[in-house]
Structure 1
């Protein structure tokens, strides 16, 4: 692989990571999935060109660029994790609404019947 094509792959990967960051900051996690193929293709091309991503196998000319790519990828991973945590919290909140809800009925000891424990076998008042 020539130096020009290696540099082109690195620049393309940087552009993809920049676009991914914009999507993540905008909360558009679904759109980031469309970028996966481009990222994997660029990484495979660069790994083929360098032999591996070990620091010693990357030529000095490209080390700064590859360090920037790694930094961008780590930042994007943090943003993606924040989105995952937000979604997880939203799901937990929706699930806990039922756990904290009561049906308006009481047990024999006077305690409220939680919505999650409703079985549908209530007696009507006479």
Structure 2
């Protein structure tokens, strides 16, 4: 499918990060199921041990290119971006960020769970919030 260069580039900047003291997450998303990614130390999760689905990563019917979800320490992430830009060219590097939102009721339920309150108590409080608190 023509991905050797892609795997090698990702391997290079993850290894650079580890060699330079930048904490790197274990790997997640569709790439976590790749045995090649595990062998190249792109991910720290053995897909055979955890019975992960490889097909999700390199499925010929997939519309978009497969991806690795890589998490870097926020305090040192800029060093990784700088390295990749220096190594591969600034015009070949971009950043993508996603923002998640939570509904008011879900926030109340999650906070209640974290604080150890009984589900029934938290559920009663969350039901006091109108459907559209806006």
The one of the two structures with greater contact order (alpha-carbon pairs below 8 A, sep at least 6) is: 1
Fold match by TM threshold 0.5: no
Q: How high is the TM-score relative to the length of structure 1?
A: 0.25
Q: How high is the TM-score relative to the length of structure 2?
A: 0.24
